[in-house]
């Protein structure tokens, strides 16, 4: 049996605006409908909403949390990996996905984006979600121009584009 595609969704932790929650939920559902495994940081905010959407659509969710205690993961994680690595787990997250979808996000999201960029992972950003996604959509992170962060307008487009990029690498 071939390996399942793993898509990492990254974005704001904690309290998020209802419109960002909707985008995250719908993106998680689209990942599940595609047959891919959803990887997140397993916490609240975008991660929780994406996992919720994937679960409601019958998908498999994995949460790689910074703590060593699995009880910190959100309730929609099927598989919890308690890394015990704190913020260093951003690199583990980035390397676990075959491709990355950014929804909003702050400095932690930027850290994961940079890790994925350095390892030349395909990256898509949902433009209307604010934060890091909005700031870096349709740009490179540096002068090396390793990976263009492709800006998209919808959850469905995000999953379609990331799957195309993953399958072409």
pLDDT grade for 9, boundaries at 50, 70 and 90: very high
Which one, of 153, 165, 156, lies nearest residue 34 by Cα?
A: 156
Domains of the chain: 6-168 (3.40.50.450)
Instruction: Please list, in sequence order, all residues whose beta carbon lies within 8 angstroms of the beta carbon of residue 24, skipping any fewer than 6 positions away.
Output: 9, 11, 16, 45, 46, 47, 49, 50, 53, 103
The mean per-residue pLDDT over the stretch 90-108 comes to 96
Residue 169 pLDDT > 80, yes or no? no
In this structure, are residues 20 and 104 in contact, taking their beta carbons and an 8 Å threshold? yes
In this structure, are residues 39 and 16 in contact, taking their beta carbons and an 8 Å threshold? no
Tens digits of per-residue pLDDT, 111-149?
999 999 999 999 999 999 999 999 999 999 999 999 999
Both tokens of 32, joined, read: 């599940």
pLDDT grade for 2, boundaries at 50, 70 and 90: confident
Tens digits of per-residue pLDDT, 31-73?
999 999 999 999 999 999 999 999 999 999 999 999 999 999 9
């Amino acid at each position: 049996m071939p390996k399942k595609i793993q898509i990492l969704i990254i974005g704001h932790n904690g309290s998020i605006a209802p419109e960002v929650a909707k985008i995250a939920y719908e993106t998680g559902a689209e990942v599940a409908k595609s047959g891919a495994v959803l990887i997140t940081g397993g916490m609240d905010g975008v991660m929780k909403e994406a996992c919720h959407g994937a679960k409601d659509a019958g998908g498999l969710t994995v949460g790689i949390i910074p703590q060593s205690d699995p009880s910190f993961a959100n309730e929609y994680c099927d598989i919890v990996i308690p890394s015990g690595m704190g913020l260093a787990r951003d690199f583990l997250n980035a390397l676990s996905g075959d491709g990355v979808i950014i929804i909003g996000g702050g400095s932690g999201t930027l850290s994961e984006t940079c890790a994925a960029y350095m390892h030349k992972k395909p990256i898509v950003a949902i433009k209307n979600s604010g934060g890091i996604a909005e700031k870096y959509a349709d740009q490179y992170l540096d002068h090396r121009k390793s990976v263009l962060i492709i800006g998209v307008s919808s959850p469905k487009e995000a999953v379609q584009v990331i799957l195309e990029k993953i399958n072409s690498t």
